[in-house]
Copies of this chain bind each other. A is one copy, B any other.
Amino acid sequence: MPVNRAIRKASDNGVVSHHESSPRQVAVVLFEDFEILDVFGPLEMFGALPDQFRLTLVGPASGPVRSAPGPQAISQYSYLEAPGAEVVLGPGGPGTRRLATEQVFLKWLARWASDAEFITSVCTGSGLLAAAGLLDGYRATSNKRAFAWACEQGPDVEWVPEARWVEDRNRWTSSGVAAGMDMALGLIARLHGDQVAASVADGVELEWHRDPTWDPFAANNGLTPS
């Protein structure tokens, strides 16, 4: 279903689409010890609309990158060679703890992502965005079991403990792991309408939580009163 983005722009919260007619590039930032569902949950949703989204994986070098539980995915580009993308997605995973202290990586991320139409994260990926300064002055959320760590990465971020995902202008950050799928569908809904997102959810047999404030896991993990 081709969408005329020029017409849709008015409802896009003022976000300027860089390419009015070609598919948007969704680029995921891989690193050693990434969380696999953070990456492949959202990519399943975007990938269901090949006329609207193209998927790219970028990593420390082009080639294999090991996930936290072992399986490896292939990054097509090294960070330094990665072309710009309309949608940048930073996943979480144990590897974020080390990366959030690597200044060369954070400087690259801040520079490379800054031109994106949407800067998004899943789980502790928001800690990386925060450490790179990309969330300063924005509202954001993160994984409920690593929330304190995420907050430490961005003292100038307004952290929201209870949220499936938080959207603030063009920064979209989701809660832990599985929440990334709901956020991806939310972004698809924003860009292409609720019906398209609902059809993707039905096709992959996912019960889509469309309400970004739905979050039983905040109370489950002691971030809000239960």
Contact = CB atoms under 8 A, between A and B. Distances in A.
A145 interface: yes
A11 B220 CA distance: 29
Contact of A41 (B41, B55, B72, B179): B41
Interface in A15-50: 35-37, 39-41, 43-44, 46-48, 50
Given A41-B41, A72-B73, A177-B205, 14 more contacts: A37-B40, A37-B41, A40-B41, A40-B71, A44-B177, A55-B71, A57-B71, A64-B74, A73-B73, A145-B203, A175-B205, A176-B204, A178-B205, A205-B217
For the complex formed by this chain, how many copies does it contain in all?
2
A147 B102 CA distance: 49
A40 to B, nearest CB: 4
Contacts of A54: 70
Most chain B Cβ neighbours within 10 Å, of A47, A48, A179: A47
